[in-house]
Chains A and B, each alone.
Chain A
Amino acid sequence: MSDMTLTLKSVCKSRGKLCVLDDVDLSLAPGERVALLGHNGAGKSTLIKCVLGLTSFAGGAIHIDGARPGSADARRNTAYLPEAVSFHPALTGREQLSLFAQLSGAGGDVPGLLDRVGLDDAMDRRIGAYSKGMRQRLGLAQVLLGRPKLALLDEPTSGLDPISRQDLYAIIDELAGQGTAVLIASHALTEVEARTDRIAILRKGVMVADDTLANLSDLAGLPIRLRVRARENPEALAAHLGGNRVNGAAVEMLCSPADKMQALRRIAAMGEAVVDLEMTPPRLEDLYRHYAKEALQ
């Protein structure tokens, strides 16, 4: 266990009667990228704040590279990007990052980091004039200060355009490459599925899944949704394919990943009768619903 950068062992936290975190286990190895998924209010931010030592927790234990949350060692080794981060509007990007560099005690190449996140032109402008995406980039620049052992990113993609997102994931890969364990909290599966090593799903404070995406999908055996639009006779199409009719001319059917190709061949064989085909892989919601149900049983 000691080679793990972050370990949480049966962590519990409640606010009044509400149980925000219930017996949560999680561990991150150095260089590992883990997505922490969950809807709003699932407990993602609370979990991160527990790890940062900003809020107390009732039961269990958290260790950051062997140190207690909130201790000087833990804070030195941890970088954090809050959700929808904001800074004092009167300071410039360079001044704000210099402040963080001095506070971290590690120093660092401030203009170089601002250049790295694409703020080289804006570093001497006031943060008040920054867009939401630029503030997010500035937040990301401070994560890179002082080679942290653990990076906690809360909704890092919010407010970023698609190209900035690509940059963000390149930076996350770079962090992981230098041995930083990265925990990315998000509520969108599609954003993180390709770029993380493991996915942990939190639902109402309970960790309902913790595995690779492929394993999670296989275990769940979630169906793929096929929506076929008929040219003129949806009744016949529905009867032939064995699906349900939805909004007029369309037929919807579900098939398991193993049967997908066979179903597609049957649809293709119908030739002119089919106008359009839409295929939806299982979404985060479906995964939640599956793992939530499993947890209840």
Chain B
Amino acid sequence: MTRFLAVTRAELLILRRNRWLLVATLIMVLFALALTFAGSAPTGTLGVDMLTVSVASMTTLSVYLAPLLALMIAFDAIAGDVDRGSLALLLSYPAGRGEILLGKFTAHLAALAFAMTVGFGTAGALAAWFGGAGSESLVALCRLILTSILLGAVFLALGYLLSACAGGSTAAAGMSAGLWLIFVVLYDLGLLGAVVMDQSGTFTRSVFPWVMVANPADAFRLWNIAATEGVAMASGMTGAAQALPVWAAPASLLIWPVLALLLARAAFRRVEP
């Protein structure tokens, strides 16, 4: 039972030693701070506190950064061991493949959670200090941090899936970049195109919100926006959020990590080192 924790311990040592943890945390802090202070201009006009605006800006940031950081650790998780030739040795031990995957996932998620909490926490604390914060905006900050970790979990698991399928580190890196581009950029562009073509027809009113929430990155955005009125106002994105039941976005973001982990587990089972 404690075998996956042995893998977790080793993976955490690796993340700390190759400075991934330091760099990821620094990136999070810097970007969150920059967005918080650059995006604080509309505070007066909207009549919300600075932390609310900061959370809205950081939500947009996290959509891009959380998947990127997660894929950056995950792509090498299986393919790296295949390249080094150490996977065969690892698998000759009594620990099962599920335990190895779980051990890596636990370590990577902990590292991601650390970077998110420190990054958004620092920016949020500073925004609250300078521009004030209410109980609602504090809840929004906590929600942002937790949903960012969930979003990271989705892309960690998708990264393992690619890493198991790719057969090599270089291919896995390339496929991860493609995956990021599809989920974070191209998917939304495609939807936007469809909506423009449809001109407020049935697709826009009934299908579009569901297709949108099926993408974990959009579900993350919708969850954070729909939950807080202030954030929704500050981000100017309320239409899609209102067309869906409240549970849609949380359900999507909670189902995705489980689904992706199961897929990664199935792909890992088929890897012959």
Contact = CB atoms under 8 A, between A and B. Distances in A.
Interface stretch (B5-13, B41-49, B134-142, B169-177): B5-13
Interface string B41-59: 0000000000000000000
Interface residues of A, number: 32
Interface in B84-143: 84-86, 88-95
Contacts of B14: 88, 90-91
B2 interface: yes
A188 B9 CA distance: 40
A63 B184 CA distance: 50
B233 to A, nearest CB: 46
Contacts of B89: 80-82, 85, 139, 142
B101 to A, nearest CB: 14
A83 B93 CA distance: 16
B111 to A, nearest CB: 14
Given A52-B88, A54-B88, A80-B88, A95 B94 contact: no
A85 B92 contact: no
B85 A95 contact: no
B84 to A, nearest CB: 4
Nearest to A99: B10
Contact of A75 (B7, B10, B88, B92): B92
A91 B84 CA distance: 14
Interface string B1-36: 011001101100110011000000000000000000
Contacts of A87: 84, 86
A75 B18 contact: no
A49 B95 contact: no
B94 A83 contact: no
A102 B2 contact: yes
Given A55-B272, A102-B3, A103-B3, A88 B84 contact: yes
Given A54-B273, A90-B14, A90-B18, A103 B86 contact: no
Nearest to A88: B14
A84 B89 CA distance: 11
Given A54-B272, A104-B94, A84 B85 contact: yes
Given A102-B6, A103-B3, A83 B13 contact: no
Contacts of B90: 103
Nearest to B20: A90
B70 to A, nearest CB: 19
A157 interface: no
Contact of A105 (B7, B84, B94): B94
